Structure 1
Amino acid sequence: MYTVKEVAQKIKLTEHTIRFYTDKGLVPNVQRDKYNNRLFDEESLNWLIRVKYLKDCGMSIKDIKYFVDLYLEGDSSIPRRYEIILKYKELAREQLTEATKRLAFMEEKVKRYHTIINQVIADDTNT
């Protein structure tokens, strides 16, 4: 079992965010100790990771809650969950494409500034 602090360090979320997600019902079956502190098992940890990824793909808290609720309905919701994941997979692909373009831009800038610093070329642009 993991504490909120341990989970925060493990999956790179703030303790506040983890508490917020659990309070919103995005992590089913979070356990509590005798002092009412949240405790996370591997399944709860995996739910937090899923929520993090869905949020990073642009899914709203409301839509994540809907997705979790669908999951809790069981197998009958698999087709709907599949549709949701397909939609956000495409959004993730678009984000990756944009991130790849940003990386290429930054790599080119690094090369340019490296040559300027080494006085191979003059800094004659404002780029």
Structure 2
Amino acid sequence: MCYSIGEFSVLTGLSIDTLRYYEKEHLIRVARNAAGRRCYTEDDQNWILFIKRLKETGMAIKEIRDYADLRYQGDMTMQSRLSMLTKHRLFVLAEKKKWEDNLKHLDDKIRIYEEKLNGGFLQSSSS
């Protein structure tokens, strides 16, 4: 199946401008049809979904570009891509720990306010 950029935009939930930006940044290499129009495939859709996940987990565009370059080189780069993903996984785990700690502190503060309000103890506080 060959999707136009407009169809692919709807399919992926990314704007046409974002798709063009990804192409300009060499995150995705899009085939062209005989008329020179972009021709997105289902493989491109899966790749875009993976790029979105990488971005959502905090991977920088430069790193995604490096990963994309390796991906387009083929299976001979599998070890390098595995190393990149393993390193990024450690980053994600560290971020997860940080967010869990922040959430715990937020929950503690909420609990303190709820206890004070429910206990009828109203006192001005600087926090």
TM-score, length basis structure 1: 0.72
Report the counterpart of residue 23 of structure 1 in structure 2: 24
Q: Which amino acid letter does the alignment assign opposite residue 20 of structure 1? A: Y
- When residues 111 and 90 of structure 1 are mapped into structure 2, their CA distance, relative to the original with a 3 A threshold, is same
Report the counterpart of residue 82 of structure 1 in structure 2: 82
CA distance in 2, matches of 1:31, 1:102: 47
* SS of the residue 2:91 aligns to: helix
CA distance in 1, matches of 2:32, 2:113: 52
CA distance in 1, matches of 2:122, 2:84: 51
- When residues 27 and 117 of structure 1 are mapped into structure 2, their CA distance, relative to the original with a 3 A threshold, is farther
5+ residue gaps, structure 2, are none
Deviations 1:54-80 (A, max 9, x none): 234443322211211111111110111
* SS of the residue 1:4 aligns to: helix
How far does residue 16 in structure 1 lie from its aligned partner after superposition? 4.1
CA distance in 2, matches of 1:122, 1:20: 54
CA distance in 1, matches of 2:113, 2:44: 46
Identity %: 22
Structure 2 residue 12 is matched with structure 1 residue 7: yes
How far does residue 41 in structure 1 lie from its aligned partner after superposition? 4.3
Report the number of matched residues.
Answer: 121
Aligned pairs for 1:29-68 (under 5 A) are 29=30, 36=37, 40-68=40-68
Q: CA RMSD for the aligned pairs?
A: 2.9
| Greater gyration radius | 2
Q: Which amino acid letter does the alignment assign opposite residue 8 of structure 2? A: T
How far does residue 4 in structure 1 lie from its aligned partner after superposition? 1.4
Q: Which amino acid letter does the alignment assign opposite residue 17 of structure 1? A: T
5+ residue gaps, structure 1, are none
